[in-house]
Amino acid sequence: MSLIAHSVSDFIRTLQALSGILEKGAASAQARKIDPLVLTSSRLAPDMFALARQVQIACDVAKNGFSRLSGVEAPKFEDTETTFEELQARIAKTIDFLRHIKTESLVGSEDKVVSFPAGPERVLKMKGDAYLKQWVFPNLYFHTVTAYNILRHNGVDVGKMDYLKGADLLP
């Protein structure tokens, strides 16, 4: 199995970890009697994206990245999620898309040239393997860790093991 096909599981595991982190966020809001929308609309700087948008982008990075590499069309999302439940549904749909990508569709994707938008006006190009390792993975982690940091900054009791959850530890 190629590096890229092998990496699908890393995206699923990380999105599952993000889902667990958001669950803790929702539980914390309930326990502390905070409107959950305060957390999902929280941000680390006035000109940074809020939590909900970070989660939306983490999902997009995964689905669009593998759509471009595999040639399989990704589901379209309307970017209307504001609640924890809606964000969980988006993550679940993204994981479902990733699970249905067939290994065969990724054959040769390492050497394929991938074009992708970076901001509203720029289109960038990379070779498939570099795109995955230097763009898609770092972006997935960027938005997942920022989501984590927003919740942590707002007093949610998450720890790094929530983020690393699902790693294949040996007995």
Do 61 and 139 contact (CB within 8 A), yes or no? yes
Task: Select the span of 30-38, 78-86, 101-109, 129-137 touching a second copy (CB under 8 A).
Answer: 129-137
Q: What secondary structure letter does DSSP report for 72?
A: P
Rounded Cα distance between 34 and 47, Å, is 23
Query: Closest by alpha carbon to 65, among 1, 124, 22?
Result: 124
Look-up: residue for tokens 């994981």? Answer: 95
Residue among 75 and 155 whose Cβ is closer to a second copy: 155
> Quick check: 127 binds a second copy (CB under 8 A)?
yes
| Amino acid symbol at 151 | L
> Quick check: 16 binds a second copy (CB under 8 A)?
no
Do 92 and 63 contact (CB within 8 A), yes or no? no
* Residues 77-106 interacting with a second copy (rule: CB under 8 A): none
> Quick check: 149 binds a second copy (CB under 8 A)?
yes
> Quick check: 66 binds a second copy (CB under 8 A)?
no
Q: Given phi > 0 = left and psi -120 to 50 = alpha, else beta, which region is 58?
A: alpha
> What are the distances in angstroms from CA 61 to CA 28, 81, 160?
27, 16, 22
> Quick check: 108 binds a second copy (CB under 8 A)?
no
Q: Which alpha helices (H) appear in the chain, and where do they start and end?
A: 3-31, 36-40, 51-70, 84-99, 128-131, 137-153, 160-164
Work out how close the CB of 117 gets to a second copy at its nearest, in angstroms, rounded to a whole number: 13
Binding mask 19-48 for a second copy (x = CB under 8 A): -------------------------xx--x
Residue among 66 and 163 whose Cβ is closer to a second copy: 163
Out of 13, 24, 93, 112, the residue judged to bind a second copy by CB under 8 A? 13
Using CB under 8 A, list all residues that contact a second copy: 3, 7, 10, 13-14, 44-45, 48, 113, 124-127, 130, 133-135, 137-139, 141-142, 145-146, 149, 152-153, 155, 160, 163-164, 166-171
